[in-house]
Amino acid sequence: MSDTHSHESTETSAELFDKAELAEFVAADQSAGRTICKMLSALFIYTLIAMSIASGWTYYAILSS
């Protein structure tokens, strides 16, 4: 059985993006990463505070009854 598909070389001599575009992408990617990290940190702190308040309220509600 012979292979009927032709195999082309995946190597290209020209780069897909020039160095300025790559630098811009890296800068945007790093900025997005920092923003996501800050957002996740803020949500984690919010969760700690909310759970502390809920735990304290539950503790005092049980003691009151």
Torsion over CA of 55, 61, 62 and 63, rounded to 10 degrees? 110
Q: Residue 22: inside a domain, yes or no?
A: yes
35 within domain boundaries: yes
Indicate whether 43 pLDDT > 80: yes
- For 18, 22, 34, the CA distances from 26, given in Å and listed in that order, are 13, 6, 12
- Average pLDDT of the chain? 88
Is this structure's pTM higher than 0.85? no
Q: What is the mean pLDDT of the segment spanning 29-38?
A: 98
What CA–CA distance (Å, rounded) separates 45 from 60? 23
| 47 is a domain residue | no
Identify the domain containing residue 21 by its residue range: 17-41
Averaged over 26-54, what is the pLDDT? 98
Q: Is residue 23 part of a domain?
A: yes
Q: At 14, is the secondary structure helix, strand, or coil? A: coil
Q: Is residue 37 part of a domain?
A: yes
Q: What is the pLDDT of residues 5-20, one digit of tens each?
A: 666 555 555 788 899 9
Domain count, the chain: 1
> How does pLDDT run across 44-55, given as a tens digit for each residue?
999 999 999 999
Specify if 64 maps to a domain: no
